[in-house]
Chains A and B, each alone.
Chain A
Amino acid sequence: MQKYSVFSLIKNALTNHQNWDVVWRDPEPKKEYEAIIIGGGGHGLATAFYLAKYHNMKNIAILEKGWIGGGNVARNTTILRSNYMHDANSLFYDHGMQMWKDLSQELNYNVMYSPRGILNLAHSDAQLNAYARRGNSMRLNGIDVSLIGREEVKKMIPFADFTSNARFPIFGGLLQPIGGTARHDAVAWGYARAADDMGVDIIQHCEVNGFDIENGKLTGVQTSRGNIKTKKVGLCVAGSTSLLAEKLNMNLPMEAHVLQACVSEPVKPLLDGVVTFGAGHFYCSQSDKGEMVMGGDLDGYNSYAQRGNLPTIQHVLTEGVALFPNLSRLKILRTWGGVMDMSMDGSPIIDKTHIEGVYLNCGWCYGGFKATPVSGLTFAHTIANDTPHDLSIPFRLDRFNTGHLLDEKGLGTKTWIS
């Protein structure tokens, strides 16, 4: 692999950037692989990378129906955080946050990790108390977080509505300083380039149509580019998990819902970190190009459409304007939607299945992007060792049968209500 550095940049600048290597190969599928990952999004690419890096598996393929990084890794709001209350979530996501710090070096690809802080706003005393409890829980798990008052919030986001007319006055907030953003496409491309360098075959435009299973054991997959033999297959197909599981005769505790996001026209630097509105579902950050990146609620009904409805956008932006009145002057540049696996307790599933050689990575709800590195790490461990990683034991599929749910938000099975 051609190493990226300031020197390679200067060298290539002198030749008008005509001599850069291709970033990853475009191989034909082989007849057989040691392991196959379905889905060339962030999680699939990361899984293949860590399988090659830590588990000495070199004969791996990633099969992607479309093109890599074209699904939810291209459709999120790029937020990184680990501000969860439950131990299982705290430890898992914070391990991920530690991985983000070194990811650019590890991949030799600038993922533009930018820890500018994530601030959850509180709009009542009760909410501030709840945040104090969550903050204490996080600190017990070794995560740096602080509860800040109204005056401190005002210094950070002076353009928020601090007048007496505010519908939901700001009482304070919970600030996680290492929260922030990363460049979502760079994460996909960086993992793809690094995995390809380790010999992983990234096969695009190759749809999986079925699985070959003999005596409860996986023997291969049927694809649009021929049958491929393998003993292990990992599903990283957020949004389409139920559809592939159906081909395995599995029913999963999951619904597909559309989540939208939008960006405004670009403006000069306004917002430093990530801010979430506490009286509704609205979150906002500013991209490096200056666009305000905003998101909020699900559309609210089962959908595989990858596009959303306007009432939801209007609802989200109404909340945005209630928080930041100056947003009302901005035009929306574009909106888009992605299909979420909404699991029945709002937490992901990383596990093996009752079919030997079939592994599941799904159910990420709203929160898949930030978990990309740690999801890949733990899923690779699960596939290689046929047993869950210590960090992902709480995310097992059978928790819905044993009652060990991980319901961070206390929403129950109606996860679309949030």
Chain B
Amino acid sequence: MLEIRCPYCGNRSQNEFAYGGDATIKRPELKTEVTDQEWDNFVYYRKNPRGNHLELWHHISGCRQWFKVHRNTATHEILKTLEMKENL
């Protein structure tokens, strides 16, 4: 089982969290021309590395904050957790 450090509540069991996927996806800016290709990339294409992955988690049974987790997808080691406004 993962133990995830919520930036607001500290270490908690994985059971309290929900997963949100790749944290590096950016919605295309509003009021700009967006090509079909850019929109497809935003909707359907994700990073899928075997190794370190920056991802979103939601402390759904706790403080209900979203935050970022830097985690290894092969070993499950959690390297760092960050608030949404922070970058690696």
Give A residues with C-beta under 8 Å from B: 240, 242-243, 251-256, 300-305, 309-311, 344, 400-401, 413-414, 416
| CA gap between A401 and B39 in the complex, in Å | 9
B78–chain A nearest beta-carbon distance, Å: 11
Task: Give the residue among A251, A301, A413 with the most B Cβ atoms within 10 A.
Answer: A301
| CB–CB B44/A344 < 8 A | yes
Q: For B50, list chain A residues within 8 Å (CB).
A: 240, 243, 256, 304
| CB–CB B15/A400 < 8 A | no
Q: Mark B22-42, 1 if CB is under 8 A from A, else 0.
A: 100000000000001100100
> Per DSSP, are chain A's interface residues mostly helix, strand or loop, or mixed?
mixed
| CB–CB B55/A301 < 8 A | yes
| CB–CB B55/A302 < 8 A | yes
User: When the two chains form the complex, which single residue of B40, B48, B53 contacts A254, counting CB atoms closer than 8 Å?
Assistant: B48
| CA gap between A277 and B58 in the complex, in Å | 28
| CB–CB A305/B15 < 8 A | no
Q: For A251, list chain B residues within 8 Å (CB).
A: 45
Q: Quick check: is B8 within 8 A (CB to CB) of the other chain? A: no
Q: A253-B45, A344-B43, A344-B44 are in contact. List 4 more A-B contacts (CB 8 A).
A: A254-B48, A256-B73, A300-B18, A305-B76
User: When the two chains form the complex, which single residue of B37, B40, B44, B76 contacts A303, counting CB atoms closer than 8 Å?
Assistant: B76
Q: For A301, list chain B residues within 8 Å (CB).
A: 19, 55, 71
> Per DSSP, are chain B's interface residues mostly helix, strand or loop, or mixed?
mixed
**A301-B55, A310-B1 known; A400-B73 Cβ under 8 A:** no
Q: Quick check: is B61 within 8 A (CB to CB) of the other chain? A: no
| CB–CB B44/A253 < 8 A | yes
| CB–CB A413/B44 < 8 A | yes
A380–chain B nearest beta-carbon distance, Å: 27
Q: For B76, list chain A residues within 8 Å (CB).
A: 303, 305
**A254-B48, A300-B19, A302-B48 known; A401-B37 Cβ under 8 A:** yes
Q: For A400, list chain B residues within 8 Å (CB).
A: 40, 43-44
| CA gap between A243 and B2 in the complex, in Å | 24
Q: For A256, list chain B residues within 8 Å (CB).
A: 48, 50, 73
User: When the two chains form the complex, which single residue of B14, B45, B48, B71 contacts A309, counting CB atoms closer than 8 Å?
Assistant: B14
Q: Quick check: is B46 within 8 A (CB to CB) of the other chain? A: yes
| CB–CB B36/A401 < 8 A | yes
11 residue pairs of the A-B complex, CB under 8 angstroms, read A252-B48, A255-B48, A256-B48, A301-B19, A302-B55, A302-B73, A305-B74, A311-B1, A311-B15, A414-B21, A416-B19
**Can you name the residue of chain A whose Cβ is closest to the Cβ of B19?**
A301
| CB–CB A254/B1 < 8 A | no
**Can you name the residue of chain B whose Cβ is closest to the Cβ of A315?**
B15
| CB–CB A305/B73 < 8 A | yes
| CA gap between A305 and B19 in the complex, in Å | 17
| CA gap between A344 and B75 in the complex, in Å | 24
| CA gap between A240 and B50 in the complex, in Å | 9
**Can you name the residue of chain A whose Cβ is closest to the Cβ of B14?**
A311
A109–chain B nearest beta-carbon distance, Å: 34
**Can you name the residue of chain B whose Cβ is closest to the Cβ of A300?**
B19
